[in-house]
């Protein structure tokens, strides 16, 4: 059995010991002893083969109301500290543990590709033109408060300092003292938000990720990419190359979120410009101190005239303009008079002076200086620009159709919503080809339509660098795309913004290739999109709609066909992957996911959502971000230059056969069993999730309704909390079982061995099954579910147990995760801390529901319940 690395174990022990010291001081020794008894009971119960959990349950049942909160908080806090130690361990680099950096280097991947037959020039061309965009999304899955995240970041920094081998005893004591202070502060800080963050709060959190991590990580990563490229091909990255961009949905995603208005979006654009000006100011101040040289080329001399320190002169002008830009943005945000004189607005306003200095230094033989901090700032300017982040806009297709319908009705042109798709397209293309404005000045639209049009006006006022994509959710027809372009043009949009249909349900995914082909048939549109099309694939809703196996296969086929359709029309296709952090929402290890995409679908460009706690796990610390950027970049380059094999015809047939059965089985339970929704509501904390102030967006698209109206995130969150993990395996169990019974096991094993898509699917299924826990799921049923619904729970647990056995058979293993021993051990280490939280949560839910009927829920119960949700999320390393 693989143990934790000694260094990681030591850090977990140290943080746990310091937390224990804080608990001993407050609430005191009695509470500390109780927590230790609970932890010992959880460990003992886990060691018993039967694993009944009896000792633990008896101990927890004796807790007084005043003990509930400190006990739940202690286990939650330990899990957060264990996560932090594990996260730091992934990026630590001690001389005697060089292998701890677990990502294959850029140089190694380049050499492997060259050895596989990729020419140097082709490798250089592909890397130079690479386009990877991370889209930070406002999905409400980050449980930890930002106040605590900042303390955790400093704790990581202390662990980094402790890794130095040459510390004096007093220096080590100072670091331990600081760790003790930080952990005490965290213990005495409320870990639960009591007010839901606004969309602007979420956007600020996204900017903080850039300020605290990506601002340092991105230029360092690009320096590494440049050096690796020179070693592999003899040529580096051009100065203006920007293979990585950061976009965001925070403040731009209004789909089902009435809190994101045009005014919120405008404010977020301005906040981004304020933050960017502030960050560049810090860079420029530092560069002015560095660039004290007098030699300059003719171009720089002609710009500044005869002065002793030409670089400082140019940078002084830039500093003054950045100050004006920051003041302007602040005045606009605060609604005061704003002076636009001398501000930086277009990106060239920032990059031109920097490039002037850079080329002058090169011409004067000062390459060493040119390629120092100045190059880092230049790289930032090309990657982040003056807007700091590219804001995506997302809105539902029906909102645009209603806006066009209202305009058409006002002009007495007919009933747009009653028109056929052909009639809609004909009207939209005719208007787009024309020059006259469509919307009369005197027209007074309804409030809903006014909001759509006002949003378009805010977009039209931005520079191209400030905008990502306009994403249309629930898109299914060419008119969905054309309507958005027309509304943007009416608002004064002067350049072609990317308009991106999002295909998310099973039917939409199936219809996506035909929809895009119909769009590409329109000459006006092909001219508009300038030979480049982006399409978004929705993972969350398709999984909730059809089950994980069917959704994964539908997504694969849609991408394959979309890539073929784009090639047929001579267009470059970028697939935008709307993945969540969890397997049930398309999540999983990034490099495996990218390398299992259909061949030809990752063609040098890749766009992906990163959300909630996954942003922190991947980009929360500079070195962690650098590692994540390396991981994604190597995978995208490899998938482009050495794509995986496509499936054999019999593998396709097998997937069709499997998914026909998995879909039927999944929907029989989720859609057709009348007991399912009542069972879901009773067995999981779904109804209580609204108490957690997770994000600005409501948990449901519509009030009331069943599973279909529930957003994918709370759907996954709820099943994860009680460890049945149902969305990730339901349906797959029946499909694989019938395949084995009908003699298809050797075929499935061949598919696993030779087809990355299927291997990755089974690996992800195994990972999520390892997080499931029959004993805990059973306890929730016994505590919370009325007797008439318990047979359904029993049946689901029986199916889950069967699925575990099937995966072990498929992989020829005695136990799950035999190939992932570190992850398996990490789960075992967490169990004694998550188990008490699960048992307490079930008990607290019971009290909450009983008290809820009478309208009186004790505050301690409610607070402790919220803490159990946050703690379990930390223990599982994901929420939704």
> Which residues are known to be catalytic?
139, 544
What stretches of 293-432 adopt beta strand conformation (E)?
390-396
Contacting residues for 150 by C-beta, under 8 A, at least 6 apart: none
DSSP state of 610: E
Buried b / exposed e along 418-453 (16+ C-beta atoms within 10 A): ebeeeebbebbbebbeeeeebbeeeeebeeebebbb
Taking each helix axis from N to C terminus, what angle separates 756-771 and 821-854, rounded to the nearest 10 degrees?
50
Residue 174 exposed, middle or buried by CB count within 10 Å (0-12, 13-18, 19+): middle
Whole-angstrom distance, CA of residue 70 vs CA of residue 788: 35
Whole-angstrom distance, CA of residue 138 vs CA of residue 74: 28
Contacting residues for 420 by C-beta, under 8 A, at least 6 apart: none
Tokens of 559: 């991408």
What stretches of 366-510 adopt beta strand conformation (E)?
390-396, 467-473, 498-503
688, 865 Cβ separation under 8 angstroms: yes
542, 578 Cβ separation under 8 angstroms: no
Tokens of 639: 């998938």
366, 295 Cβ separation under 8 angstroms: yes
Whole-angstrom distance, CA of residue 432 vs CA of residue 307: 54
Can you tell me whether residue 133 is helix, strand or coil?
A: strand
DSSP state of 585: G
Whole-angstrom distance, CA of residue 453 vs CA of residue 231: 51
Whole-angstrom distance, CA of residue 589 vs CA of residue 583: 10
Query: Smallest Cα–Cα separation from 186: which of 31, 81, 69?
Result: 81
Contacting residues for 141 by C-beta, under 8 A, at least 6 apart: 580, 581, 611, 612, 613, 614, 694, 695, 713, 717, 878, 879, 880
Can you tell me whether residue 248 is helix, strand or coil?
A: strand
Tally Cβ neighbours within 10 Å of residue 232: 20
Contacting residues for 759 by C-beta, under 8 A, at least 6 apart: 596, 751, 752, 753
Taking each helix axis from N to C terminus, what angle separates 790-810 and 774-784, rounded to the nearest 10 degrees?
170
């Amino acid at each position: 059995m693989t143990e934790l690395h000694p260094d990681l174990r030591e850090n977990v022990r140290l943080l746990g010991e310091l937390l224990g010291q804080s608990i001993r001081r407050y609430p005191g020794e009695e509470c500390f002893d109780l927590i230790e008894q609970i932890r010992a009971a959880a460990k003992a119960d886990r060691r018993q083969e039967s694993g009944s959990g009896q000792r633990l349950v008896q101990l927890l049942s004796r807790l007084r109301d005043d003990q509930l909160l400190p006990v739940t908080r202690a286990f939650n806090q330990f899990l957060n500290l264990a996560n932090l130690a594990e996260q730091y361990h992934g990026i630590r680099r001690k001389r005697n543990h060089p292998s701890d950096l677990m990502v294959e280097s850029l140089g190694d991947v380049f050499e492997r590709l060259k050895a596989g037959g990729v020419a140097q020039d082709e490798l250089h061309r592909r890397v130079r033109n690479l386009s990877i965009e991370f889209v930070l999304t406002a999905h409400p899955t980050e449980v930890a408060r930002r106040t605590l995240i900042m303390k955790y970041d400093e704790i990581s920094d202390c662990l980094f300092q402790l890794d130095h081998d040459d510390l004096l005893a007093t220096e080590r004591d100072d670091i331990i003292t600081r760790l003790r202070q930080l952990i005490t502060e965290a213990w005495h800080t409320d870990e639960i938000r009591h007010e839901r963050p606004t969309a602007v709060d979420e956007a600020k959190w996204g900017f903080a990720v850039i300020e605290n991590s990506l601002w340092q990580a991105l230029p360092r990563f690009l320096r590494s990419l440049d050096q690796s490229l020179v070693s592999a091909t003899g040529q580096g990255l051009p100065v203006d190359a920007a293979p990585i961009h950061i976009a965001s949905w925070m403040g731009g995603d209004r789909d089902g979120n009435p809190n994101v208005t045009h005014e919120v979006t405008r404010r977020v654009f301005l906040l981004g410009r304020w933050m960017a000006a502030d960050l560049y100011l810090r860079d420029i101040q530092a560069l002015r101190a560095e660039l004290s040289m007098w030699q300059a080329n003719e171009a720089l001399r002609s710009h500044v005239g005869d002065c002793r320190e030409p670089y400082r002169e140019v940078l002084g002008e830039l500093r003054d303009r950045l100050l004006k830009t920051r003041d302007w943005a602040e005045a606009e945000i605060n609604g005061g008079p704003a002076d636009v004189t001398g501000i930086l607005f277009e990106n060239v306003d920032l990059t031109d002076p920097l490039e002037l200095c850079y080329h002058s230094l090169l011409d004067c033989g000062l390459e060493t200086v040119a390629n120092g901090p100045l190059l880092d700032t230049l790289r930032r300017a090309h990657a982040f620009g003056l807007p700091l982040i590219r804001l995506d806009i997302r809105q539902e297709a029906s909102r645009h159709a209603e806006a066009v319908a209202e305009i058409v009705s006002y002009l007495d042109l007919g009933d747009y919503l009653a028109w056929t798709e052909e009639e809609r397209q004909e009207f939209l293309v005719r208007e787009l080809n024309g020059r006259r404005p469509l919307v009369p000045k005197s027209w007074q639209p309804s409030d809903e339509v006014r909001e759509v049009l006002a949003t378009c006006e805010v977009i039209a006022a931005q520079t191209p660098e400030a905008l990502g994509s306009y994403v249309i959710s629930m898109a299914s027809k060419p008119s969905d795309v054309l309507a958005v372009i027309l509304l943007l043009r009416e608002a004064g949009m002067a350049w072609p913004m990317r308009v991106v249909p999002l295909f998310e349900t099973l039917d939409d995914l199936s219809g996506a290739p035909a929809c895009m082909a119909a769009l590409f048939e329109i000459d006006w549109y092909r001219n508009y999109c300038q030979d480049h099309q982006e399409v978004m694939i929705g993972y969350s809703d398709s999984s909730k709609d059809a089950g994980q196996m069917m959704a994964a296969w539908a997504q694969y086929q849609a991408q394959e066909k979309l890539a073929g359709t784009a090639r047929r029309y001579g267009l470059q296709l970028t697939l935008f992957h709307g993945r969540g952090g969890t397997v049930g929402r398309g999540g999983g290890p990034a490099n495996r996911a990218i390398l299992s995409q259909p061949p030809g679908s990752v063609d040098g460009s890749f766009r992906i959502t990163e959300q909630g706690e996954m942003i922190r796990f991947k980009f929360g610390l500079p070195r962690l971000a650098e590692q994540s950027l390396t991981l994604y970049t190597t995978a995208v380059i490899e998938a482009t230059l050495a794509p995986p094999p496509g499936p054999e015809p019999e593998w396709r047939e097998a997937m069709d056969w499997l998914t026909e059965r998995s879909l039927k089985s999944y929907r029989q339970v989720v859609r057709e069993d009348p007991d399912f929704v009542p069972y879901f509501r009773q067995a999981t904390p779904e109804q209580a999730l609204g108490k957690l102030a997770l994000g600005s967006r409501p948990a449901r698209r519509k009030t009331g309704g069943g599973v279909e109206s529930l957003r994918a995130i709370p759907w996954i969150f709820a099943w994860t909390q009680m460890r049945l993990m149902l969305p990730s395996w339901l349906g797959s169990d029946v499909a694989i079982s019938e395949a084995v019974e009908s003699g298809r096991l050797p075929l499935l094993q061949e598919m696993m061995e030779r087809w990355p898509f299927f291997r990755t699917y089974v690996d992800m299924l195994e990972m999520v099954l390892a997080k499931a826990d029959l004993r805990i799921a059973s306890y929730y049923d016994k505590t919370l579910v009325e007797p008439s619904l318990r047979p359904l729970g029993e049946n689901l647990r029986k199916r889950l147990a069967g699925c575990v056995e099937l995966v072990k058979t498929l992989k020829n293993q005695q136990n799950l995760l035999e190939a992932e021993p570190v992850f398996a051990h990490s789960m075992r280490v967490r169990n004694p801390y998550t188990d008490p939280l699960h048992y307490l949560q079930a008990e607290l839910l019971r009290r909450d529901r009983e008290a809820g009927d009478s309208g009186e829920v004790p505050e301690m119960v409610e607070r402790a319940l919220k803490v159990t949700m946050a703690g379990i999320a930390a223990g599982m390393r994901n929420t939704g």
